[in-house]
Amino acid sequence: MVERYALSPMKEIWNQERTLKRWLEVELAVMSAYEELGIIPAGSSGSAEKNALIDLNLFKEYEEQTDHEVIAFVKMATSRMGKEARFFHYGLTSSDVIDTALSVTLVESCNILLDQMKKLLKTLWDLSITYKYTLTIGRTHGIHAEPTTFGLKILNWYSEMKRNYERLLFAREQIAFGKISGAVGNYANVPPEVEELALRKLNLKPSPVSSQIVNRDHHAFFITVLALVASAIERIATEIRHLQKTEVLEAQEPFKSGQKGSSAMPHKKNPILCERLCGLSRIMRSFVYTALENNVLWHERDISHSSAERYIFPDATQTLHYMLVKTDYLLKGLVVYEENMLKNLDLTRGLIYSQRLMLELIKKGMSRNEAYDLVQNLSLRCWQTGESLKDLSLKNITVLSEEEIENIFDSQYYIKHVDEIYKRFKGE
């Protein structure tokens, strides 16, 4: 993971000590289940918990000896135990521990992401309320189309983020599976009841049928949802980069006092955070392919997914966490130039009202083709001469009264349904 993009509390989730502790949790949950079922002596899990050792140096030493993480872990964990050590890791295969612990970690990371998304949703909602009626030009193909409000732009982001929140909830449900089912998933040396009890303690469901591991479709689905969230952020960041362009300047990302935009050009305020977010979204996308490839393992498991997962799980969760935190900061400090929005709205001298003009002509009885041609013609003259479309209409159109023409060139007309749109989100 790139250190500068690793933020607390996500960062800590992935350090090695935390990983070993989570393995221990799984082992203890299993012992306690055995105990509850009367398979091992009462008190074993209590003693194990008391005597278990987590010591990173010792772990590394053992790992070097054995080239096997779990054997090293068991050796370390039991090094100070008494006879309860016999029932530690009893009947288990490495993956029972590792894979179940991984699910605990992923659920935990998911919760952090959901929390952060909730904050971002609130920020988006508040911002959409602030600019609910703020007129701005809607652009399609990068070209001025029709007036809309800045609030609606933000509400659109809010709405997508809400969908993503629901997708992530669904993904969390899908990732919350563990397995304590032995080397090939047949429960040969550990009965299904142990799995059920142990996983309940860890807030996981049993994988209904597992191989040596929990199937990787669970994980792949999780990763694709993260990439989808990232692309929503990329869309926001891309919009702001556009709005911050010198010629547009309708919005600007926050600029820390003391921050320098460029070593060469002191006046420059660059949307570097937005650009950074766009780059990070590319990274998030790249994890999806790997996660999908990892789903196709040989037989009852091959371990080829493991090296790849050492990159993608810590990187994907931490990178998205960073993105969510920074997007919240970005939007909370967003500088909005409403006056420039109004100025830009008038940039085409009324051409943006052309569709409405056409529709009013049709209402007056013109055919669609006639109306289209007339308006296209006037638009061209407006474009070429600099005269406003309103003035040209007043001079050249007779089927509409002056008042009717005045009404057509009224930007309020375009935002008359804003309240109805917002009402769809009532209760937020």
> What's the min distance (Å) between Cβ of 88 and a copy of itself?
8
Give, as ranges, the residues between 181 and 210 that touch a copy of itself (CB under 8 A).
Answer: 182-189, 191-192, 208-210
Angle, alpha carbons 200-208-100 (nearest 5°): 50
Which one of 305, 316, 318, 392 is in contact with a copy of itself (CB under 8 A)? Answer: 305
**Selected binder of a copy of itself within 159, 165, 325, 336 (CB under 8 A):** 159
What is the tally of helices (H) and strands (E) in the chain?
A: 17, 6
| Closest CB to a copy of itself among residues 29, 240 | 240
Q: Choose which of 53, 58, 114, 292 interacts with a copy of itself (CB under 8 A).
A: 292
Angle between helices 69-77 and 56-66 (to 10 degrees): 130
The minimum distance between CB 366 and a copy of itself, in angstroms, equals 9
Three-state DSSP class for residue 135: strand
Burial (0-12, 13-18, 19+ Cβ within 10 Å), 89: buried
| Residues of this chain, 242-271, that bind a copy of itself according to CB under 8 A | 242, 244-248, 256, 258-271
Torsion, Cα 217 219 220 225, to 10 degrees, reads 130
141 catalytic, yes or no? yes
Is 128 among the catalytic positions? no
Residue of 302, 309, 306, 310 whose CA lies nearest to 184: 302
Strand partners, 178: 206
Q: How far is the CB of 146 from a copy of itself (least distance, A)?
A: 5
Selected range binding a copy of itself among 43-51, 109-117, 150-158, 330-338, rule: CB under 8 A? 150-158
Minimum CB separation of residue 56 from a copy of itself in Å reads 13
Backbone φ and ψ for 136, nearest 5 degrees, come out as: -155, 160
From 8, 262, 367, 401, active-site residue: 262
Cβ at position 190, least distance to a copy of itself in Å: 9
- Of residues 386-405, those binding a copy of itself (CB under 8 A): none
Q: Is residue 63 within 8 Å of residue 2, measured between CB atoms?
A: no
Provide the annotated active-site residues. Answer: 141, 262
